Amino acid sequence: MRSAFSGKIVQLVAALLVLLVNFVTSQDPDIVKTCTSYKKSVWEETSEFSFLIENAPIIYKTLDKCTSYAPLIIGGGPALPKEFPHAARLGHREDDGEIEWFCGGTLISNLHVLTAAHCLYSPQGSVNIVRLGDLEFDTSTDDADPEDFTVKDFTLHPGYSHPAIYNDIAVVRLSKTVTFNEYKHPACLPFDDGRSVPSFIAIGWGQLEIVPRTENKKLQKVKLYNYNTRCRFTADKNDELPEGYNATTQLCIGSNEHKDTCNGDSGGPVLIYHKDYPCMYHVMGITSVGVACDTPDLPAMYTRVHFYLDWIKQQLAKT
């Protein structure tokens, strides 16, 4: 019996090692490399010097300034300056210059913003403007570097069919490249699917409360939790979810407190910290649809970004 039991232990350990190897190797090397390059381009400064001796070799020294601007998020509240440099706001600008903002997004390259497909069906009009680098709208006294970009085009996932919110993901392409700095640079794409992630950070300029309807001009952050497959039981089938919750393509995220995303947050990201780079985040989900805004223990559904990596990479390859 002892020999058989020991054999089972060996088999179990071997299986766990295989799973670990598969997890490590499942990380897309292109995404890992790109994430590192973004970090280096913004946060690392290389200088050269040499001793004042003839033919002395040049010595290069790199200063890494990649540190976190904020402590770990507990609860929620206003975002700090430079805390979320990938945060984007999407809107429609009329011919007279008047802009109505209605969705969020995430900068994922120097030309592309990730958002929800349903944001491109807004009654306010098509998305034709994106603002990056802002913190509080309609003020110039905050520590921000807002810049508006016109939209060249956008692509909805081919599996999206309005009004259902499956495959609720789209990529907006900007008309000019973004110059990266501490106020504006991309979030990294996911290294894994987020199933084992215990909590996320959601950000957006959406309403702070569903009733009364309150306009919000400050970027907000909130810590939310992974409810795994709970949404299978809390989400009724309707026009938006004709087949109910899909755990393969959606994340189920919420809180047991009055903490939530709300109207106006659609398209914005749910994030986790990069394990090695405290100045960087991964965009794990896209705010998609809520069951009831600001209701404790009633999680909402977010598009699972990792599932769509191949499609996203195809969009990034377009110039």
pLDDT band at 26; cut points 50, 70, 90: low
Whether 11 is covered by a domain: the verdict is no
Chain segment 41-93, per-residue pLDDT in tens: 999 887 665 556 666 566 667 788 898 766 666 667 899 999 999 999 999 99
CATH (domain of 152): 2.40.10.10
Shared domain for 219 and 148, answered yes or no, is no
pLDDT > 70: percent of the chain:
79
Shared domain for 228 and 165, answered yes or no, is no
Arithmetic mean of pLDDT, 295-317: 94
Whether 155 is covered by a domain: the verdict is yes
- As to burial, measured by CB atoms within 10 angstroms (0-12 exposed, 13-18 middle, 19+ buried), residue 164 is middle
DSSP state of 118: G
Whether 283 is covered by a domain: the verdict is yes
Instruction: Decide: helix, strand or coil at residue 71.
Output: coil
Instruction: Decide: helix, strand or coil at residue 152.
Output: strand
Shared domain for 267 and 172, answered yes or no, is no
Arithmetic mean of pLDDT, 169-175: 98
pTM: 0.86
Question: 104 has which bridge partners?
Answer: 89
User: Structurally, how many domains does the chain consist of?
Assistant: 2
Structural domain including 94 reads 85-185+310-316
- DSSP structure string for 238-290: -SS-TT---TTTEEEEE-SSS----TT-TT-EEEEE-SS-TT-EEEEEEEEE-
Between 29-43 and 309-316, two packed helices, what is the crossing angle to 10 degrees? 50
Shared domain for 299 and 216, answered yes or no, is yes
- Asked if residue 214 has pLDDT above 80, the reply is no
pLDDT score for 174: 98
pLDDT score for 315: 96
CA proximity to 27, closest of 190, 152, 185, 182: 190
Whether 144 is covered by a domain: the verdict is yes
Chain segment 151-162, per-residue pLDDT in tens: 999 999 999 999
Shared domain for 175 and 209, answered yes or no, is no
* More confident site: 18 or 235: 235
pLDDT score for 217: 85
Whether 280 is covered by a domain: the verdict is yes
Whether 48 is covered by a domain: the verdict is no
- Asked if residue 201 has pLDDT above 80, the reply is yes
Whether 3 is covered by a domain: the verdict is no
Average pLDDT, the chain: 85
Whether 162 is covered by a domain: the verdict is yes
Chain segment 95-153, per-residue pLDDT in tens: 999 999 999 999 999 999 999 999 998 888 899 999 999 999 888 889 999 999 999 99
Q: Which residues are catalytic?
A: 118, 168, 266
Shared domain for 164 and 120, answered yes or no, is yes
pLDDT band at 215; cut points 50, 70, 90: low
Shared domain for 228 and 268, answered yes or no, is yes
Shared domain for 254 and 294, answered yes or no, is yes
pLDDT score for 256: 86
Alpha helices (H) along the chain: 2-26, 29-43, 231-234, 309-316
